[in-house]
Amino acid sequence: MKGTIEEAKATLGGEDFLTLLDFSPKEIQSLLESALVLKQQQKNGTFSEALKGKSLGMIFENASTRTRVSFEVGMTQLGGHALFLSPRDMQIGRGEPIKDTANVLSRYVDAIMIRTNSHETVEELAKYASVPVINALTDAYHPCQAMADLLTIYEHKNTLKGLKLAYIGDGNNVAHSLLAAGAKVGMDVTIASPAGYEVDQTIFNRAVEAAKETGAKLELTQDPAVAVSEADVIYTDVWASMGYEQEQNERLQLFADYQVNETLVASAKEDYLFLHCLPAHRGEEVSGEVIDSVHSAVYDQAENRLHAQKAILLSLLSEK
């Protein structure tokens, strides 16, 4: 494994970080190796000044715990600085065109991280910004979360290729990014969602095409029992993501058979790993018995947002 901060730098072909589908399997592996090195350095109390003098502008249209704290702390630990930017306090919240915001911020900061509702927004921001843009969550993808997920699975299973991950629940941005992640690292992914709440077919088709390079098997089903059968990893998310809170009561009924509980996980592998991107609603998408069991790695997963994002920041902002 690479040991120094210079050796740990991942090299990405793209200038932005919008979706894992934009990167090669080799680039994804390079990011994971970098994250592992950075995590070990932190445990040793060693911090780099690789991003000294660099600034990250962080635009948040939605509430955040893990994303905001991990990016802000990550920049600090790499010697840089992060600025929290709320649309309520910016002109973008009063109708300033994204093009203008992108051009102006590019003259102030070295990179822009955005957590927004529409994926078109982050794509437009990246189009006009002259600095790297990082997708910290859109309605279509959550690539930073997926990198932390891969890092967590690798740490617990010592491999990624050939594993089976079962995602149970809404076919949302997390599900989309897990499909992309599996396709890039050769991990089989099965998504089980109720009718009408499946993943986006275009995104699924893109992931299937990408999976041809690694041999990953990607599948969709409406039967959660089929998905978790012999699974190495079981993953779920809230049934009503941000922006869909008004559908909470309706979804509680529609998703009732999709709860990850002790009955469902019985058909998974004996040493299965449970993941959840948090926040979790115990008693809804997952039972307390599962999320608080020895199989659960949700806090490792949350911590790994920091290390994975430091690897992303280092790859985009350090001198090539």
218 annotated to bind ligand: no
305 annotated to bind ligand: yes
Catalytic residue among 237, 301, 307, 309: 237
| 142 is an active site residue | yes
214 annotated to bind ligand: no
| 300 is an active site residue | no
261 annotated to bind ligand: no
89 annotated to bind ligand: no
Spatial separation of the C-alpha atoms in residues 65 and 32, rounded to whole Å: 23
41 annotated to bind ligand: no
Closest CA to 239 of 228, 227, 229, 250: 250
The vertex-118 CA angle with 87 and 301, nearest 5°, equals 90
Catalytic residue among 145, 259, 301, 309: 145
Closest CA to 237 of 283, 273, 286, 204: 286
145 annotated to bind ligand: yes
| 145 is an active site residue | yes
278 annotated to bind ligand: yes
| 206 is an active site residue | no
Catalytic residue among 251, 305, 307, 309: 305
Spatial separation of the C-alpha atoms in residues 306 and 75, rounded to whole Å: 10
Enter the tokens of residue 52. 């000294």
149 annotated to bind ligand: no
Q: Determine how β-strand 188-192 pairs with β-strand 133-135.
A: unpaired
| 88 is an active site residue | no
Catalytic residue among 142, 276, 295, 307: 142
22 annotated to bind ligand: no
DSSP string, 182-232: HHHHT-EEEEE--TT-PPPHHHHHHHHHHHTTTT--EEEES-HHHHHTT-S
| 201 is an active site residue | no
Active site residues: 115, 142, 145, 237, 277, 305
Binding site listing for L-ornithine: 173, 237, 241-242
Binding site listing: 64-67, 91, 115, 142-145, 173, 237, 241-242, 277-278, 305
Binding site listing for carbamoyl phosphate: 64-67, 91, 115, 142-145, 277-278, 305
